[in-house]
Amino acid sequence: QWSEPRVCSRRYLRVDFADIGWSEWVLAPKSFDAYYCAGTCGFPIPKVARPSNHATIQSIVRAVGIVPGIPEPCCVPDKTSPLSVLFLDPDRNMVLKVYPGMAVETCAC
């Protein structure tokens, strides 16, 4: 089923800080739901893929094939949410930071 093209959508991804080697200094959270965007933005792009007007135009131009080398629009995060991270700085002081754009809320073409 993975070989079949699927329309651009949000997929589940949990990131564990231990897996990327940050668990030594990241105290909380240990893991978080980051999600990711994947799928095709082929012509015609369905509304569910929330295409921008530009993506729609690019998709048509590609389908028509007049201009060579125009790729399919990309499937990218449209809305993201921040994440609070509690960690130790190099001096071993506890620091809390709210990082923007850490988890995908919605995807779009």
Partner 1 sequence: LHGGDAPPDAERRVFTHESPDPVHASMFRLYERYSKEPQSRRSGNTVRSFRAVPGVLNGKDVFQFNLSTVPNSEVILLASLHFLHQRPRQRPWRFRRPRHSPGGPHPVPVRLLFYGSSQGSAFGKPLGNATVASFTKGSWQTADVTAAARHAQDIKEPLMAVEVDVGSMAVQGQQRSAQERPPLTELPYILVYADDTAIDEPNSVATTLQRYGPSPAGEGMANSASRIRRELHLQAHANHIPEVHFSNLKSQELWQNTYFPDKTKTGRKQLSGEGGAKPQVLSFDERTMKKARRR
Q: How far is the CB of 85 from partner 1 (least distance, A)?
A: 7
CA distance 59 to 38: 17
Binding of residue 4 to partner 1 (CB under 8 A): no
**Subset of residues 5 to 64 that bind partner 1, contact rule: CB under 8 A:** 11-16, 18-22, 24-26, 28-31, 33, 36
Residue type, 43: F
Interacting span for partner 1 (CB under 8 A) from 44-52, 53-61, 62-70, 97-105: 97-105
CA distance 12 to 30: 17
Binding of residue 107 to partner 1 (CB under 8 A): no
In sequence order, the 6+-apart residues with CB closer than 8 A to the CB of 82 are 98, 99, 100, 101, 102
Are 48 and 7 a contacting pair, CB within 8 Å?
A: yes
Contact residues: partner 1, CB under 8 A:
11-16, 18-22, 24-26, 28-31, 33, 36, 81-87, 89-91, 93-100, 102
